[in-house]
Structure 1
Amino acid sequence: MAIQISPSILSADFARLAEQAEAVAGSADWLHVDVMDNHFVPNLTLGLPVVESLLKAVSVPLDCHLMIEDPDRWAPAYAEAGAQSVTIHAEAAGAPVRTLREIRAQGARAGLALNPATALDPYADLIGEVDMLLLMTVEPGFGGQRFLDLVLPKIRAARQLISRTGGSVWLQVDGGVSPETVERAAAAGADVFVAGSAVYGADDPAAAVDALRAQAEKAAAQAG
């Protein structure tokens, strides 16, 4: 499986978003955009207008993670605007199949996210509707949290589920990804890693992306 790194601009300087995005353009596969509404999660970040502006200003494809109420209403607009990946939360979606299909119909990759306490099994039948499964490795809402090792068994189970279905679904982890935790997540089966403070808290964000990728690739190879 190919390892991908998606730096989260939640940890970037919001006054210099375009500049900070381009700082990782040569290394990152995606730019992770955390959309929070202060309802589904206890934080307010940015929304569609900022995403539309970023799309005009940056070269890295946008990976939009919607931590919002009523994603059925809002998610397709992010895909229509040009975000190349749009992820909704299972806990918030009222009609996930319809919404995932609408995201795909707009030409974007469709993702489904599960919080740490949300079981995988009830959503196993939706694997065929997604391009990416996102397992939160912290409680969503804030950057800089510690990685929750209790999610590791779910990552392994998700990798087994994906392998059984024969699909090419990506398995993303988000929360607490750092040089100290990325290898555990990769060994468990994750292949797309969201990293915020580990990238934008480093002196050289691009080098931090490269280092995380190398660690994850090594751990995945050893586990495989």
Structure 2
Amino acid sequence: MARVKLAPSILNADFRDLARAIAQVEGLADVIHLDVMDGNFVPNITFGPLVVKAVRELTETPLDVHLMIAHPAEFVEDFARAGADWISFHAEVTRHPGEILGLVRNLGKRAGIVLNPQTPAERVFDHLEITDYVLVMTVMPGFGGQEIIPEALGKVGEIKGEARRQGLSLEVEVDGGVKAHNLDAVLDAGADIVVVGSSIYSAPDPRAAAEEIRRVLDMHPGIT
């Protein structure tokens, strides 16, 4: 049984003190999730490679960079150089995802592809062989703190089932609206990696919140 990975998202952290935000999840997080938004593919704007570089200098925990941007191929190398370990991009922005997946892998990084809630799982089936993980969005991308769209969780099983059919081993990450009251549903859907943002960083005690989520993940039967 594999341990479910916790990926705290710093989107809801206090950007005035990123060092403290990272320290609050140190030792509990398997990866740190960073949402990069360009104001084009999504309406919000967050940060770029300089912030990723700053976070890289604060921790040895792998950095999971989620590119919510219209032209990911143009920026993959910049984020890789800044210290990203995992780089994912949206299936909705390209007709040739294999080219971007190959670019990420050629840079020695884990390559992921992201599906918005309305995008069917089948969109990625032809590219699973060169994909390290698929990120299933369970909210509309662009803003933190939204409520989960439970129907989107069905894609987790569809993707994992297709991967098994192809004889492949890959991880499925769930991102969006994950909170204590729906965490069991996310785990039961088969998530290998769980992104949690506001439930940690909007809590009165982020460290305690992260510890409780870690406890629930560790109590889950695990992933076969």
The TM-score, its normalising length taken from structure 2, stands at 0.93
Once residues 149 and 107 of structure 1 are traced to their aligned partners in structure 2, the CA distance between those partners, rounded to angstroms, is 34
Q: Partner of 2:93: helix, strand, or coil? A: coil
1:79 is aligned to: 80
The one-letter code matched in structure 2 to 1:128 is: E
Q: What residue is the counterpart of 2:209 in the other structure?
A: 208
Matches within 5 A, 1:58-207: 58-207=59-208
Aligned partners of 1:212 and 1:93: how far apart in 2? Answer: 35
Runs of 4+ aligned residues of structure 1 deviating over 3 Å after TM superposition are 216-221
Shift of 1:24: 0.7
**Structure 1 unaligned residues grouped into runs of 5+:** none
1:54 deviation in Å? 1.7
The residue that corresponds to 1:42 in the other structure is 43
- Measured after TM superposition, the shift of residue 94 of structure 1 is 4.4
Q: Which moved more, 1:69-78 or 1:133-142?
A: 69-78
Q: Identity of paired residues, percent?
A: 39
CA distance in 1: counterparts of 2:81 and 2:89, whole angstroms: 15
Q: Is the CA contact (8 Å cut-off) linking 2:50 and 2:82 kept in structure 1?
A: no
SS of equivalent to 2:41: coil
CA distance in 2, matches of 1:96, 1:77: 18
Q: Is the 8 A contact 1:116 1:139 kept in 2?
A: yes
CA contact (8 A) 2:135 2:172 kept: yes
The range that moved more, 141-150 or 160-169, is 160-169
Letter in 1 for 2:161: Q
Cα distance in 1 between the residues matched to 2:66 and 2:200: 18
Encode CA deviations 1:94-142: one digit per residue, 9 max, x unaligned.
4321111111111111110000000111320111111110000000000
Does the CA contact (< 8 Å) of 2:36 and 2:47 recur in 1? Answer: yes
**Structure 1 residues 220 and 136: CA distance shift in structure 2, 3 A:** farther
CA contact (8 A) 1:71 1:93 kept: no
1:80 deviates by 2.9
RMSD of the TM alignment (CA)? 1.7
Mean Cα displacement is larger for which, 118-127 or 141-150? 118-127
Q: State how far apart, in whole Å, the 2-side matches of 1:163 and 1:150 are.
A: 22
What letter is aligned with 1:41? Answer: V
SS at match of 1:91: helix
How many aligned positions are there? 223
* 1:181 to partner: Cα distance: 1.1
Hey, what does 2:54 align to over in structure 1? 53
Contact 2:42 2:68 in 1 (8 A): yes
Task: Identify unmatched segments of 5+ residues in structure 2.
Answer: none
